[in-house]
Amino acid sequence: MIRVVVIGGGQSAEHEVSLAGAAGVAAALRESGFAVDELTIERDGCWAGTAGLLADSPARSLQGALAVLAGADAVFPVVHGPLGEDGALAALCGLAGVPVVGSGVRGGAIGMDKWATKLVAEAVGIRTARARLIGRADIGEVEFEEPVVVKPVAEGSSFGVSLATDAAQLQDALRLAARYDDRILIEEVVRGREIDVAVLREAGGVRWAAPPLEIRTASDAGLFDTTAKYDGSANFIVPADLTRGQRSAVTTAALRMFDALGCAGVARVDFFLTDDGLVLNEVNTMPGLTAQSQVPRMFAAAGIEYGELVTRMVRSALAEAGAAAAARARAQARA
């Protein structure tokens, strides 16, 4: 029986979101016939198992967690944000020699960094919102020029994201973003439909996109912020009502970003569809994974139910690890 360790929690603002996703993934994998162990990273960095904390400090508890990882055939880290989705857990699994579900260190690190993601997007011909990057120390020097969206560079679930329409709001928005990151993005406001695309890389390397999803929010500002994400007010429409040309364009762009970042497993690529074409918003290399989250909804529209989706993600990770091991063996044989 294949044994999978599912990791949830983490030290980011998305801790509770991660716990819900990890619980859903663990239950679905058990129903699909996998043996599952669960680990939780507490807010203070200590690791816990189902029986409680593994030790009283992050370092000592990590020793206990590594013992659990050592018995795994694969690790499924459902941890969002810094010290999780940003490649940190992929690096830990790589050092431990255990296959990891989802993107590796490079894809996770670049995808988590909204500024770096912009640079990659522009290099492969995908438009992004005009933006400038500032540091926390520069907040007091920023002058208001036009309505902008302010974001922490490396945070998820729209934590720390706000719209500023005057000078006072701008300073409030910058201070809020600085609570989550010492690097801050100030972006032009993009007016358009919010279209998300989920991409899956299957065992064997084939990757494909599920039917796109459109987000419609009741927010007066039209901003899909943290509140709108989780208060049930947003309306998810899947498949999105797109022309054949629009669907082709958004799917092609999503696949191009997936490949450019070196993603694996599942990633969600978010766009604005404007009168002038597509504008990339961001890429999530470990998106929300409860059964009600956007990515499972998109794959359900393609006939891939939740349990099948997470099963395919595990099998993809195992296949990629096997292929990598075979390539290393061939290289050593030639040496």
> Which of 165, 179, 213, 171 is CA-nearest to residue 193?
213
- Could you say which DSSP state residue 100 is in? B
CATH class for the domain made up of 131-188: alpha beta
CATH class for the domain made up of 3-100: alpha beta
Domain 110-127+191-313 has CATH 3.30.70.580: no
Q: From first to last of its 335 residues, what are the pLDDT tens digits of the chain?
A: 999 999 999 999 899 999 999 999 999 999 999 999 999 999 999 999 999 999 999 999 999 999 999 999 999 999 999 999 999 999 999 999 999 999 999 999 999 999 999 999 999 999 999 999 999 999 988 988 899 999 999 887 688 899 999 999 999 999 999 999 999 999 999 999 999 999 999 998 999 999 999 999 865 455 545 455 545 568 999 999 999 999 999 999 999 999 999 999 999 999 999 999 999 999 999 999 999 999 999 999 999 999 999 999 999 999 988 777 777 878 788 87
> Which of 217, 218, 222, 200 is CA-nearest to residue 209?
200
Task: Say whether 131-188 and 110-127+191-313 share the same fold.
Answer: no
Q: Own/partner pairs for 42-51, CB < 8 Å, 24+ apart?
A: 42/9, 43/9, 43/11, 43/15, 44/11, 45/11, 45/83
| pTM for the full predicted model | 0.91
Q: Where are the beta strands (DSSP E) in 153-246?
A: 162-164, 183-188, 193-201, 207-209, 213-216, 235-237
> Domain limits of the chain?
3-100, 110-127+191-313, 131-188
